[in-house]
A and B are shown apart, each in its own frame.
Chain A
């Protein structure tokens, strides 16, 4: 019975809509911040999906998004197809899968431990969970990028400046330029996820535990659906 938990209409709708949200966020132009720096939303949407849906539904949403990418131009820069997945930057997309499980698991854990009740506590916990995604994504993406482009993983010993060619490496080209933007995106994703959990408690099963303790009702998936919208 428990293995069919992910199969209710509610979960299917959440997974499908969040896969679509990741796709849409990858396609719409980024938000311009104060300095005119564009903020693309793909990583934001992946982390948000994991924080809102938990590990398995988050993984399913990212997987469906990658599946969509095989036919539709839903990857970053309106790219599509297998060539993105097998290309040098495909490791980041695979890293999204792993990150969804890890981040979603942490968010789920927070919900189980009751860390998502207060607004400030929930924001801190969710931002902290989301930040874990950054090392996970780069741990998969950057070595693959370095391997495919024939770069060393770490910068050479003669590395002195940003424009020095000795510095061309997996870390300096594939990680460092994106870290500030990623931290910003994850923080925003944590704030948004906290607002969503405030608006719809029970998405991660926290409200279910509370109500199940107060009234020993048979907790079915249908009831969870009702509580999520209550």
Chain B
């Protein structure tokens, strides 16, 4: 029902081989430059260069045309408005900027894989890693990817259920069940994460060990019973007998 395929296709063009930070920096720099410089010749030059860059990444034709169609219509409308005002230079500059930045962004998107982009995001999030450690960021993205079909299914099912009751034009009949089921799904997912100790690991490793022990001894039996296996220091106990067996074999 819903395709989750972006415009990225693996290839070995120069832009595909360029690092992601370079492409993003290029996009940022050229965007600011083309917005700041209001000279139509520069604008058209940047436009030609961007279109060539976009063509050099060999993007899928249909998706690219679809991506460019809307911005072209907007650019034509904006240029038409300026021409109606009698400002031909500004019309060229505006339309050139609009299409150039869009083409450049499309070139970056179609030549950067999701993994590369995520690496860049993780690197950019490094200064705030005490709030958002990289493993949490990765978990967030992975969970979101998994949850998109789930959320779409919840919305669709609620709509079908509302139609069955003859309420398909009542937003409340569709959206209250959708919202409640979404939150319910999220809370179940959170419990599943908690039960596996997934998101707790990075947090507890940064926390001081002493207050954690205090909290455990003082706290009454928790509502969500934690499996005792998770609390055992898993590195030490299996290793100690192994070492002793080896030593016994060596000795014997």
A119 shortest CB reach to chain B, Å: 13
In the complex, the answer to whether A17 meets B172 with C-beta atoms within 8 Å is no
- Which stretch in B40-48, B98-106, B233-241, B244-252 binds the other chain? B98-106
Number of interface residues of A (CB under 8 A): 79
Whether a CB of chain B sits under 8 angstroms from the CB of A71 is yes
> Contact string, B212-238, partner A, CB cutoff 8 A, digits 1/0?
000100111011100000000000000
Instruction: For A68, list chain B residues within 8 Å (CB).
Output: 141, 144-145, 148
In the complex, the answer to whether B141 meets A67 with C-beta atoms within 8 Å is yes
In the complex, the answer to whether B183 meets A196 with C-beta atoms within 8 Å is yes
In the complex, the answer to whether B148 meets A23 with C-beta atoms within 8 Å is yes
A141 shortest CB reach to chain B, Å: 14
In the complex, the answer to whether A10 meets B102 with C-beta atoms within 8 Å is no
In the complex, the answer to whether A88 meets B98 with C-beta atoms within 8 Å is yes
Whether a CB of chain B sits under 8 angstroms from the CB of A19 is yes
In the complex, the answer to whether A13 meets B189 with C-beta atoms within 8 Å is yes
Number of interface residues of B (CB under 8 A): 92
In the complex, the answer to whether A25 meets B172 with C-beta atoms within 8 Å is no
Query: Of residues A48, A67, A70, which shows the largest number of chain B Cβ atoms within 10 Å of its Cβ?
Result: A70
In the complex, the answer to whether B219 meets A218 with C-beta atoms within 8 Å is yes
In the complex, the answer to whether A79 meets B193 with C-beta atoms within 8 Å is no
A25 shortest CB reach to chain B, Å: 7
In the complex, the answer to whether A226 meets B223 with C-beta atoms within 8 Å is yes
In the complex, the answer to whether A83 meets B193 with C-beta atoms within 8 Å is no
In the complex, the answer to whether A80 meets B109 with C-beta atoms within 8 Å is yes
Whether a CB of chain B sits under 8 angstroms from the CB of A33 is yes
> Contact string, B82-93, partner A, CB cutoff 8 A, digits 1/0?
101000001100
Knowing A87-B101, A148-B98 are in contact, say whether A4-B156 is a contact too (CB < 8 A). Answer: no
In the complex, the answer to whether B147 meets A17 with C-beta atoms within 8 Å is yes
Instruction: For A184, list chain B residues within 8 Å (CB).
Output: 171
B47 shortest CB reach to chain A, Å: 14
In the complex, the answer to whether A149 meets B74 with C-beta atoms within 8 Å is yes
Instruction: For B102, list chain A residues within 8 Å (CB).
Output: 83, 86-87
- Which stretch in A94-102, A109-117, A132-140, A185-193 binds the other chain? A185-193
Report the nearest A residue to B114, measured CB to CB: A71
Q: How far is it, in angstroms, between the C-alpha of A203 and the C-alpha of B190 when the chains are bound?
A: 13
Knowing A52-B183, A148-B98, A150-B94 are in contact, say whether A21-B151 is a contact too (CB < 8 A). Answer: yes
Report the nearest B residue to A27, measured CB to CB: B2
In the complex, the answer to whether A12 meets B187 with C-beta atoms within 8 Å is no
A211 shortest CB reach to chain B, Å: 11
In the complex, the answer to whether B121 meets A67 with C-beta atoms within 8 Å is yes
Query: Of residues B81, B132, B155, B179, which shows the largest number of chain A Cβ atoms within 10 Å of its Cβ?
Result: B179
In the complex, the answer to whether B131 meets A6 with C-beta atoms within 8 Å is yes
Whether a CB of chain A sits under 8 angstroms from the CB of B207 is yes
Report the nearest B residue to A79, measured CB to CB: B67
Q: How far is it, in angstroms, between the C-alpha of A2 and the C-alpha of B102 when the chains are bound?
A: 41
Whether a CB of chain A sits under 8 angstroms from the CB of B198 is yes
Instruction: For B149, list chain A residues within 8 Å (CB).
Output: 24
In the complex, the answer to whether A193 meets B148 with C-beta atoms within 8 Å is no
Knowing A12-B143, A23-B151 are in contact, say whether A220-B6 is a contact too (CB < 8 A). Answer: no
11 chain-A/chain-B pairs, Cβ below 8 angstroms: A24-B154, A25-B155, A31-B174, A31-B175, A48-B179, A87-B71, A188-B175, A192-B179, A195-B179, A196-B179, A225-B190
Q: Which A residues have a C-beta under 8 Å from some C-beta of B?
A: 1, 3-4, 6-21, 23-25, 27-28, 31-34, 39, 41, 44, 48, 52, 60, 64-65, 67-68, 70-74, 77, 79-83, 85-88, 148-151, 165, 168, 184, 188, 191-193, 195-196, 199-200, 203, 217-218, 220, 222-223, 225-226, 228-230
Q: Which B residues have a C-beta under 8 Å from some C-beta of A?
A: 2-8, 27, 31, 67, 70-71, 74, 77-78, 81-82, 84, 90-91, 94, 97-98, 101-103, 105-106, 108-110, 114, 117, 121, 130-133, 136, 139-141, 143-152, 154-156, 159, 168-169, 171-172, 174-176, 178-180, 182-187, 189-194, 198-200, 202-203, 206-207, 215, 218-220, 222-224
5 nearest interchain CB pairs? Answer: A9-B193, A20-B147, A16-B143, A13-B190, A81-B109
What would 8 more interface pairs be, CB under 8 Å, given A7-B131, A71-B117, A223-B223?
A8-B194, A8-B203, A17-B143, A21-B147, A28-B155, A81-B109, A184-B171, A195-B179
